[in-house]
Amino acid sequence: MGKKITRVVLAFVIIGVVIGGLVGFNSVWNSIFGSDAQKAAVGDCIQNKGTASDPKMESVDCGSSTATYQVSEVHDDTSDTSVCDKKYSAYTESTGGRRHRSSVVLCLTHLK
């Protein structure tokens, strides 16, 4: 009976390590290969190089004349734009497939 419990505990530990590794890998992958919106931090400036209906957000220097928005809040793992106060413009972006989706909501202060 003692060996069976040890095997079950060991199996759970291994499963936990694998899941933790996958979560960590996904985070590192997005930080290296993710979009500018996925990598944005509070204080960063961005511009929409797309359209209102098909935005393409890109990081720009805040001193640049092309800076349109400044990131005021970042909310990871959600696509619910209601997390942003009404004083901000909300932008959401989701990447990945059905199983491995990564979402972010940026609360943006309009600069122009």
Closest CA to 90 of 65, 108, 78, 112: 108
Lowest mean pLDDT among 8-17, 28-37, 63-72, 85-94: 28-37
Tell me the pTM: 0.66
pLDDT in tens, 54-110: 888 899 999 999 999 999 999 998 989 999 999 999 999 887 766 666 889 999 999
Phi, psi of 30 (to 5 degrees): -65, -35
